[in-house]
């Protein structure tokens, strides 16, 4: 390798010759070590005719420390930027990269910010290389050769604007598995034999024995997926730079498509060749087309308030219709709304623990909510529970009343203030007046405890434990009263 050679030339004050990023890196490290400022170095390079994969074995990233050469500390980010920018075909790239490195070494770390003048140039070089890589991933078109012709099965021709062939070859090695292929460019070619990449030197466009059946299908697809009613050729050309079109098979049919669409076919979205064919109406009666669905319960169709709009579904109560105890919560939450069942989320799990402690069997009680639809507001990408308004509680009392009439429980456990207001029908009822004090209402016992989500969010372990105890005590009481 030419590393030591570069060091020797530095000493002699001669121009530094480099072919590749690795050679530049070695030379730059030596120059920095000798405190040679950028203006004192003349970099010269030749077109890279070497083996594309000669340096592939060397680990990327931190420079290998060579005995006797000074350590240069640069950030990973700068290293990546330098390495990428080195692929950008601009005049004096090596000199510019050395200038950036020099400024960094002087402590000017904003040299990598696009707000810095050199940083802006470096950023635009990186961007141009990344862009070229992307374009090559996107716009290479393989053509298939006859199987008898032997490997490579697929061949492509591409004219990259920057030195990105080695990286791009890796991309296609991952994409094609054991299928063999070759990519030819004006500067170099690369072949994949199913397991390894080989440089094959400059080659002209692939042989003539090419099977074009796939290309014809592609053109049909390309023509048909275009919606003439949306013609916007400017936008299309904005996306694919003009230099690529000549090597894209669809490039040849674009002008005719644009003209046709502009000359009348824009009235409808359908491609002309499809529209001109005879069609078929499907003879099926509307009622036969209706999918089989469970008849919605009337609760599903409830429009007594607006809450149904943003909810997935109404969540009815669950439990035996002969239950002596009915537990009434506030409203379904995020999980309940998706599952269609009450108390399946975190609050429900806490409630289950409390019921276990109070020796209340979950299967023996009826669980429901005062409001049947989930009320929420967006917070970032989540749904945050929002307390239902009094009018929504009142609108939903229709459903709670019918559940009460059906189940006829001896005891109602009201979880929290909304439930208390709903079961007493008193919008001014407050939790603290009746907490832990069972009372009779319309011939039934009402036991009031905290709502489990209050226990989940109350701050401090002590407060949590205390609130949990109130809930367990209330449930125990309800069990006694329900016997």
Partner 1 sequence: MELMDKLEILADAAKYDASCASSGAPKRTSEGKDGIGATNGMGICHSYTPDGRCVSLLKILLTNFCVYDCQYCVNRRTSNVPRARFSVDEVVKLTVDFYLRNYIDGLFLSSGIIQSSDYTMEQLVAIARQLREVHHFRGYIHLKTIPDADPALIAAAGKYADRLSVNIELPTEGSIERLAPEKNVHTIKLAMGSIRRKLDEKAEEPRSPTFAPAGQSTQMIVGADASDDKTILSTAQTLYGSYKLKRVYYSAFSPIPQSPGTVPLAPPPMQREHRLYQADFLMRGYGFQAGELLPAAGNLALDIDPKLAWALSHREHFPLDLNMAEESMIARVPGIGLRNAKRLVELRRLRRIRYADLTRLRCSMKKIAPFIVTADYRPAADTTASEVLRRSMAEHSPRQLDLWAELQAA
**Smallest separation (angstroms) from partner 1 to the CB of 6:** 32
Q: What b/e readout covers 317-328, taking b as 16+ CB neighbours within 10 angstroms?
A: bbbeeebbbbbb
DSSP-assigned beta bridge partners for residue 16: 43
Residues in 363-422 at the binding interface with partner 1, rule: CB under 8 A: 376, 378, 380-383
**Binding partner 1 by CB under 8 A: which of 221, 359, 390, 426?**
221
Q: Which is nearer to partner 1, 71 or 309 (CB)?
A: 309
Residues 475, 414: Cα–Cα separation, whole Å: 10
Q: Which is nearer to partner 1, 210 or 318 (CB)?
A: 210
Residues 477, 444: Cα–Cα separation, whole Å: 14
**Smallest separation (angstroms) from partner 1 to the CB of 141:** 6
Contact status: 39 vs partner 1 (CB under 8 A) = no
Residues in 84-123 at the binding interface with partner 1, rule: CB under 8 A: 109-110, 113-117, 120
Interface size with partner 1, residues (CB under 8 A): 100
Contact status: 76 vs partner 1 (CB under 8 A) = no
Bridge pairing between strands 189-192 and 181-184: antiparallel
State the sign of the Cα–Cα–Cα–Cα dihedral 103, 106, 109, 115: negative
Residues in 346-365 at the binding interface with partner 1, rule: CB under 8 A: none
Q: Which is nearer to partner 1, 140 or 422 (CB)?
A: 140
The Cβ-side half-sphere exposure at 202, using a 13 Å CA radius, reads: 6
**Smallest separation (angstroms) from partner 1 to the CB of 66:** 32
**Smallest separation (angstroms) from partner 1 to the CB of 52:** 17
Segment near partner 1 (CB under 8 A); pick from 287-295, 398-406, 432-440, 457-465: 287-295
Contact status: 293 vs partner 1 (CB under 8 A) = yes
Contacts of 27 (CB under 8 A, 6+ apart): 2, 3, 6, 7, 10, 16, 18
Contact status: 450 vs partner 1 (CB under 8 A) = no
**Binding partner 1 by CB under 8 A: which of 68, 291, 363, 459?**
291
**Smallest separation (angstroms) from partner 1 to the CB of 352:** 18
**Smallest separation (angstroms) from partner 1 to the CB of 356:** 23
The Cβ-side half-sphere exposure at 381, using a 13 Å CA radius, reads: 0
Residues 29, 248: Cα–Cα separation, whole Å: 43
Residues in 262-281 at the binding interface with partner 1, rule: CB under 8 A: 262, 264, 266-271, 273-275, 277-281
What x/- string results for residues 137 through 176 when contact with partner 1 is judged by CB under 8 A? xxxxxxxx---------x-x--------------xxxxxx
Residues in 296-325 at the binding interface with partner 1, rule: CB under 8 A: 296, 300, 309-310, 312-313
Q: Which of 388, 384, 383, 352 is nearest to 373 (CA)?
A: 388
**Binding partner 1 by CB under 8 A: which of 238, 363, 459, 460?**
238
Contact status: 343 vs partner 1 (CB under 8 A) = no
Segment near partner 1 (CB under 8 A); pick from 97-105, 208-216, 316-324, 360-368: 208-216
| Angle, CA of 128, 37 and 123, to the nearest 5° | 15
**Binding partner 1 by CB under 8 A: which of 4, 75, 106, 232?**
232
**Smallest separation (angstroms) from partner 1 to the CB of 245:** 10
Contact status: 53 vs partner 1 (CB under 8 A) = no
**Binding partner 1 by CB under 8 A: which of 74, 130, 161, 250?**
250
Phi, psi of 369 (to 5 degrees): -125, 155
Contact status: 286 vs partner 1 (CB under 8 A) = yes
DSSP-assigned beta bridge partners for residue 444: 441
**Smallest separation (angstroms) from partner 1 to the CB of 173:** 5
Length of the chain: 483
**Binding partner 1 by CB under 8 A: which of 216, 252, 463, 465?**
216
- Checking 340-348 for CB contacts under 8 A at 24+ apart, the result is 340/312, 340/313, 340/315, 341/315, 342/315, 342/317, 342/318, 342/367, 342/368, 342/369, 343/367, 346/453, 346/456, 347/451, 347/452, 347/453, 347/456, 348/452
Residues 112, 91: Cα–Cα separation, whole Å: 20
Tokens representing residue 375 in the block:
């009320």
Tokens representing residue 341 in the block:
């069942």
Q: For residues 328 and 423, is the Cβ–Cβ distance under 8 A?
A: yes
Contact status: 428 vs partner 1 (CB under 8 A) = no
Residues 443, 211: Cα–Cα separation, whole Å: 87
**Binding partner 1 by CB under 8 A: which of 54, 95, 179, 481?**
179
Segment near partner 1 (CB under 8 A); pick from 40-48, 335-343, 388-396, 413-421: 335-343
Nearest 10 degrees: CA dihedral of 387, 393, 399, 402?
120
**Smallest separation (angstroms) from partner 1 to the CB of 201:** 23
Q: Cβ atoms within 10 A of the Cβ of 386, count?
A: 13
**Smallest separation (angstroms) from partner 1 to the CB of 314:** 10
């Amino acid at each position: 390798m030419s590393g030591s050679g570069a060091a020797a030339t530095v000493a002699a004050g001669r121009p530094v010759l480099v072919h590749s990023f690795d050679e530049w890196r070695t030379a730059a490290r030596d120059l920095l070590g000798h405190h040679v400022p950028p203006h004192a170095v003349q970099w010269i390079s030749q077109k890279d005719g070497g083996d594309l994969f000669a340096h592939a074995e060397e680990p990327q990233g931190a420079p290998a420390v060579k005995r006797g050469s000074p350590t240069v500390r640069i950030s990973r980010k700068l290293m990546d930027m330098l390495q990428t920018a080195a692929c950008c075909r601009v005049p004096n790239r090596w000199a510019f990269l050395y200038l950036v490195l020099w400024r960094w070494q002087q402590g000017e770390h904003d040299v990598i910010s696009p707000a810095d003048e050199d940083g802006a140039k470096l950023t635009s070089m990186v961007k141009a290389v990344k862009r070229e890589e992307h374009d090559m991933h996107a716009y290479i078109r393989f053509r298939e050769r006859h199987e008898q012709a032997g490997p490579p099965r697929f061949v492509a021709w591409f004219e990259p604007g920057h030195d990105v062939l080695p990286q791009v070859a890796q991309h296609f090695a991952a994409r094609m598995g054991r299928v063999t292929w070759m990519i030819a460019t004006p500067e170099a070619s690369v072949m994949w034999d199913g397991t390894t990449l080989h440089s094959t030197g400059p080659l002209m466009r692939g042989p003539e024995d090419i099977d074009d059946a796939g290309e014809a299908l592609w053109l049909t697809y390309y023509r048909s997926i275009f919606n003439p009613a949306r013609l916007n050729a400017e936008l299309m050309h904005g996306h694919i730079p003009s230099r690529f079109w000549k090597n894209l098979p669809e490039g040849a049919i674009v002008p005719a498509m644009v003209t046709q669409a502009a000359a009348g076919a824009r009235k409808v979205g359908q491609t002309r060749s499809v529209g001109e064919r005879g069609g078929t109406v499907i003879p099926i009666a509307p009622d036969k087309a209706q999918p089989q669905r469970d008849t919605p319960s009337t609760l599903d169709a409830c429009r007594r308030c607006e809450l149904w709009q943003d909810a997935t579904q109404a969540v009815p109560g669950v439990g035996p219709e002969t239950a002596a105890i009915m537990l009434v919560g506030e409203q379904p939450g995020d999980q309940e709304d998706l599952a269609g069942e009450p108390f399946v989320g975190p609050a429900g799990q806490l409630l289950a623990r409390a019921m276990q402690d109070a020796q209340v069997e979950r299967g023996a009680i009826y669980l429901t909510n005062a409001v049947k639809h989930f009320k929420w507001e967006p917070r970032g990408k989540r749904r945050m529970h929002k307390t239902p308004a009094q009018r929504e509680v009142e609108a939903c009392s229709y459903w709670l009343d019918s559940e009460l009439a059906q189940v006829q429980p001896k005891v109602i456990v009201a979880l929290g203030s909304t439930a208390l207001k709903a079961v007493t029908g008193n919008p001014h009822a407050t939790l603290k007046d009746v907490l832990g004090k069972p009372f009779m209402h319309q011939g039934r016992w009402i036991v009031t405890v905290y709502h489990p989500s209050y226990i989940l969010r109350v701050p401090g372990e002590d407060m949590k434990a205390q609130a949990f105890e109130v809930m367990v005590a209330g449930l125990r009481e309800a069990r006694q009263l329900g016997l």
